Amino acid sequence: MAQVTNGVGHVSPIFLDDMQIGDRYTSAEHALDEAQIIAFAAQFDPQPFHLDHDAAKSSMFGGLAASGWHTVAITMRLMVTSGLPVAGGIVGAGADVQWPRPTRPDDVLHVVSEIISIVPSKSRPDRGMVTTRNTTYNQRGEEVQVLTAKMVVPQRPV
């Protein structure tokens, strides 16, 4: 299995023909904090357990937790800026997301993206559909999110 580390944003863009199943890309890190969690929640997911430390204690989360969509958004930023260097950008067609445990205020997150499927398009020979499993880990190496995403990837221009 190929192992490719990025993490610094200096890898050349990769095309469909460069990809192999099992290739992995590791992103840089993002340090979360309570202010970021509350700011995202106030705008997009205004529920007590994402907004208020005390209210969160008596919720299912047992303490302040980031909105799952905040974890996704941070994951996307890490992938775009330092993770998977897809030529032409990361254009998602659809995705599945699981949150095995909450993301917390002091978490330092990074993402490991692995290519798990490559399907060249039959109707459009200049592109294909690639599925990646993008696992977001906290500073203890625990999975906080598994994002399986289908993306459109161009072939290298002839």
Q: Interface residues with its own copies (CB under 8 A)?
A: 43-49, 59-61, 67-69, 72-74, 76-77, 80-81, 88-99, 152
- Tell me whether residue 22 or residue 92 sits nearer to its own copies (CB atom): 92
> Cβ 114 to its own copies, closest distance in Å?
19
Minimum distance between the CB of residue 1 and its own copies, rounded to whole angstroms? 26
Residue found under tokens 């190496």: 141
Q: Where are the beta strands (DSSP E) in the chain?
A: 24-31, 91-98, 108-120, 127-137, 143-154
Q: Which one, of 115, 114, 142, 105, lies nearest residue 30 by Cα?
A: 105
- Which lies closer to its own copies via its Cβ, residue 115 or residue 147? 147
CB contact set of 143 (below 8 Å; sequence gap of 6+): 100, 101, 135, 136, 137
Which residues pair with residue 91 across a beta bridge?
Answer: 152
Question: Closer CB to its own copies, residue 49 or residue 137?
Answer: 49
User: 153 in helix, strand or coil?
Assistant: strand
Least separation in angstroms between residue 16's CB and its own copies is: 14
Count of other CB atoms within 10 angstroms of residue 23 = 19
Q: Give least dist CB 79 to its own copies, A.
A: 9
- Nearest distance from residue 111's CB to its own copies, in Å? 13
Q: Which is nearer to its own copies, 1 or 31 (CB)?
A: 31
Q: How far is CA 89 from CA 53, 112, 156, in A?
A: 37, 17, 13
Of 26 and 102, which has the nearer Cβ to its own copies?
Answer: 102
